[in-house]
Amino acid sequence: MEPGIVVTGRYRVESLLGEGGMGRIWLADDLQERRRIALKEMHVPAELSAAKVEELVLMFRHEFFAMKKLQHPSTLKVYDWGMTEAGNRFITMEVVGGHDLSTLVREAPLDTRTLYRVLIQMAQVLAFIHSRLYVHCDIKASNVRITESGAVKLMDFGVMHQLGTPSPGKLKGTLEYLAPEWQRGASIDGRADLYSLGVMAWYLATRKLPFKRSNPAVLLADHLTRPPPRPSTLCAVDPQLEEIILLLMAKDPRERFQDASELMEALCHASGEPSPEEPLSARASYLHVPEVVGREAELEGLMNGLAEADWGQSRAVLVGGPAGVGKTRLLQEFELQAKLAELPFGRGQCRAEGLAPLAPVAQALRSMVPHTPSELMDRLGPRLMRMLPGLSSEVPEGEVHERALREGTEEKGAFFEALSEWTRTLGGRQSFVLCFEDLQWADSASLEAINVLIRALHGTRGMVVGTFRSAELSRLSLAFQTVDEKLTARMDLEPLSAEHVGTLVELVLPGLDMPEGFVTRLHATTKGNAFFATECLRMLVEAGALKRVGGRWEAE
C-alpha cells in the first residue's frame, strides 16, 4: 500500500500515520462517507506458520468485532472491515489526535492533576467495558491516547476476553502489565484490568515500570510474589495516589478495588475532583444494543441465504416492516457477519431527496470494481460508467446520470445488458452481498437496475438484500416485481414481544432492578418498536430517572 491508491474503490490513502510489527496505520479519505479515517492494515510476515497466521487473523477479527460492540466516547469508533487488493485485511476507524501516554511521559512526567484526570477517565471507560462483560486484557500506557483537549481514548482491543466464555488457557496482554491471576489459572474478570491500570499509573507517576526484567520467567515471578516498590522511592508522588496505585496492584484480586466504579470514587475523593457527571454521549453509550434482540430467526434466515449463495443457489431477500422495527439493526449484524467471513459487501442507501438517479446502485457496486477482472471492466466499463459515474471516485455524479437517462431505451438497454453481464460474471466467481436500504425512497431507475441485478444473480454466488418501510411502499411498486417472479423472498419483521423488550432493557442497562410493571408499560407504550423502546430509555436516562450508581443502574 502507498499514498494515492484507492482501496476497495472507497478509501483513498493519504499518508502513513504509524507502523508496528503487524502492520501499518494510514491516514485515508472515505470517499463514500466523505470523512477522514485511519486505515489499519494487517501485514503478516511471510515466515510465520499457517497456525500462527490463523491466530493473528482471529485476533484482528476479534478486535474489529469487540470495538464494533463497545461504542463509548473513550473508545475508538470503528467503521469497516475489509481486504485490500493485495490480500491484506484492514480495519477503518476514526482519526484521533494527540499522543499516546507512553510517548508523552518520555518527555516529562504527568503532573498530579493530569494523572488523576487520566485515571478517572480510564475508570469510566473500564466501567463501561466491564458492564458489557468484557475484559480489555492489555491496559498499558502505549494503548491509551490523550487528545489536545485532555480526553482519553483507549485503543487496541485485539486480545479482549469475554466473560462467560472459556478461559483462554494462555497468557494475554503485555508481560510488564500482567495481573498475577493469569499465571494461577484463575478466572479472569475486570479486576485484572485494574491491576494493569495500577502498573500503568505507577509508570506514569515515575516514568519507570515497577517490574522490568530481561528474563520473562523472572518478570512473571515478580508479578506473582514480589510486592511492588513504592513509587515515592523514585520521585515525589501524592501520598493518596500512591496508596491507590498499590491497592490496584495487590496480588490477590479480592484485596483490590472490586470494580472500576469503586476505583473512580476513591480517585475523586483523593484528588478533590468532583465525581464526574457522565456526559450525555457516555450515558448514551449504554443505550447501544450490543446484540440483535428478537431477530435471531431472521438473522439466521439471512445467514442461511448467504450459505446457499456460497453454493451457487442465491435468492434475493426483501426485508420489510414499520419504521423503527429493527431492519437497520438486523442489517448491521448481517453485514458484520458477512464482513467477518471476508465477503465483499456493497451497501447502497436510498434517500427521500438529494440523490441522483441510480446513485444507490453505484454506491453498492463500487466495492465490486476491485474484484472485477480488468479485461471485463475494460470492455463493459464505458457502458457502465455512462449510467453509473459513481462507480469511479473521480467522476462527478448527477449531471451524467440525468443526460444518459434522457437518451432513451436503447442507451438504458445497453446499460442493463452490461450490468447483468458484469454482476453475473462476478457471481460465478465468488460470493458477495449487495444491499439496498430504504427502497421506499428509491428512484424508478434504481428499482429497475436492482431488479436487473436480482435476475442476473439468481442461482449464482451473489446475494441481493433490500429493506423497505412497509407502510410507505405500494404493493404495485417495481420493488416487488421479482417477488412476483419467485426470484425474491419477502421477510416481514413483527414488533418485539414483551419478553424481547425485557431482554433489550437488560442488555442496555445491565443490573437495573426494574420497578414492577416497567417492562409491561414500556412494551405497551412503544408497541414493541425497538427504536421507540430505546428512545424511551434514552429519555429516562437524560431526565435522570435512570442513573448509574456504584456501577449499577437504578430507577429513581
Compute the distance between CA of residue 88 and CA of residue 13 in angstroms, rounded to an integer: 15
40 is in an annotated binding site: yes
| Nearest in space to 182 (alpha carbons), one of 139, 244, 215 | 139
Task: Return d(Cα 460, Cα 463) in angstroms, integer.
Answer: 8
- First-to-last CA distance in the chain? 54
Q: Rounded distance, CA 191 to CA 200, Å?
A: 14
Do residues 1 and 13 lie in contact, with contact meaning Cβ atoms separated by under 8 Å? Answer: yes
Give the residue among 20, 22, 23, 4 at the shortest CA–CA distance from 12: 4
The cell for 359 is: 446513485
Which residues make Cβ contacts (< 8 Å) with residue 393, sequence separation at least 6?
Answer: 6, 9, 10, 12, 31, 366
Under 8 Å CB-to-CB from 344, ≥6 apart: which residues?
A: 8, 367, 368, 371, 430, 432, 433
> Distance between CA atoms of 372 and 446, rounded to whole angstroms?
22
- Residue 20: exposure state from Cβ atoms within 10 A (0-12, 13-18, ≥19): exposed
**CA-based diameter of the chain, in Å?**
84
Q: Which H or E run includes 47? A: none
3-state secondary structure 293-338: CCCHHHHHHHHHHHHHHHCCCCCEEEEEECCCCCHHHHHHHHHHHH
Q: Where do we find the cell 501516554?
A: 101
CB-based contacts of 496, cutoff 8 Å, min separation 6: 293, 294, 326, 504, 523, 528, 529, 530, 533
Residues making up the annotated binding site are 40
Residues making up the annotated binding site for ATP are 40
